[in-house]
Amino acid sequence: MLRILILLCLATPAMAQTPMTAAEFEAYVDGKTLSFGTAGEPYGMEWYRSNRRVTWAFTGEDCQDGVWYEEAGNICFDYGDVLSPQCWRFYDEPGGLRAEFMNEPGTTVLYEALDTEEQLICPNMAS
């Protein structure tokens, strides 16, 4: 019995670290604009629209339109020639999403800072 309890305790953190599926991610983000930060600093914002379309802007920079898709358990973003493709693993945590950059694992971790249903305002685009 003790052995089972130990195994359950060891397994719990791994279960909590399961990346979101594409369906879970879509249900969480569709119709929202999320702000992300890293190391306590603003990083950027992304507006998630229907049909997996997105608009991204690094803090203080122009917006880029793109799409997202699932590939090999990652959520990947394609912005055409600008930043493509950018693949992440998203985790649904009590304080919001955590995103780990999979193109270069261990380099960038983002945290959801704000969630709104207002679209991202992009002076450089008519989207």
Band of residue 118 on the pLDDT scale cut at 50, 70, 90: low
Tell me, what's the pLDDT at 32? 93
Q: Give residue-wise pLDDT tens across range 86-108.
A: 999 999 999 899 999 999 888 88
CA gap 3, 18 in Å, rounded: 24
Query: Which domains does the chain carry?
Result: 18-116 (2.40.128)
Band of residue 30 on the pLDDT scale cut at 50, 70, 90: very high
| Mean pLDDT over each residue of the chain, to the nearest integer | 81
* Cα 24–chain centre separation: 11
CA gap 19, 61 in Å, rounded: 29
Taking residues 18-39, report their average pLDDT.
94
Instruction: Write out the E strands in 72-108.
Output: 74-78, 86-93, 96-101
Q: What is the 3-state secondary structure (H, E, C) of 23-68?
A: HHHHHHHCCCEEEEEECCEEEEEEEECHHHEEEEEECCCCCEEEEE
For residues 5 and 41, the model is more confident at 41
Tell me, what's the pLDDT at 114? 74
pLDDT exceeds 70 at position 80 = yes
Tell me, what's the pLDDT at 4? 32
pLDDT exceeds 50 at position 14 = no
